[in-house]
Amino acid sequence: MNTSTTDTPLDSQARVIRSLRGMPASDGAGVKLTRVIGTPQLDMLDPFLMLDEFGTDQPEDYLAGFPDHPHRGFETVTYMLDGRMRHRDNHGNEGLLVPGSVQWMTAGRGLVHSEMPEQQEGRMRGFQLWVNLPAADKMGEPRYQEFAPDQIPVATPAPGVRIKVIAGQVGDVVGPIQQPATEPLYLDITLKPHPLYRATGHDLFVDLPLAPWEAALGAAVEVPTPAGAVTSVAQ
């Protein structure tokens, strides 16, 4: 991530406090993925407990899926980019995640669920983020917020900048996810070469699935937050 611009000196507003790469890992029944948060290098980034990126064209890397497993006391956020994933839990809830959709699951006092591919070939790609809950909310009722791609609004706050607002707010555009306990900001930002986007109001964790030549195109994210801290992770 390049945080230098010719217009505004970012040193006085934000700084990159750490930069690292995700690590190869596997989970579920052997699904291959890249773990960004939850590694020895970055075991936790409060309130984030784990961040995985799963992405492959090889069916053997994902077909076994994530059979029944428990969650309790935190939230899992699944954002699909490619492929189809079926979710079921022990309370009778079920849903299908398709490209561009998101599921924000609050495990609360506990549930058992599975996440299994609904395809035999083709690309499967997405992210799963685990978000801790305050102690007062850990034993609440489990619930789901699940939205299709056409339910996620898009903001264009600057030339060359396109933002899918999943949670939080960008300008007048408000994302569909509502979670008062943590007030999350979850954005999918697409930058054309050489734009500048200035985010406000949050410390920022930036996940950069960029090849070196893509990063060199000169896109910049400026983050004048109160704490002024940016963590960038390149996969």
**100-132 burial by CB neighbour count: b if 16+ within 10 A, else e?**
bbbbbbbbbeebebbbbbeeeeeebbbbbbbbb
Cβ-contact 161, 188 below 8 angstroms? no
> Which pLDDT does position 225 carry in this prediction?
38
> Between β-strands 161-167 and 186-191, what pairing exists: parallel, antiparallel or unpaired?
antiparallel
* Cα–Cα dist 23/64, whole Å: 20
pLDDT above 80 (res 14): no
Domains of the chain, first to last:
10-234 (2.60.120.10)
> Which pLDDT does position 203 carry in this prediction?
53
> Which pLDDT does position 137 carry in this prediction?
93
* Cα–Cα dist 173/205, whole Å: 21
At 172-220, the pLDDT tens digits run 999 999 998 888 889 898 877 766 666 665 555 555 554 433 333 334 4
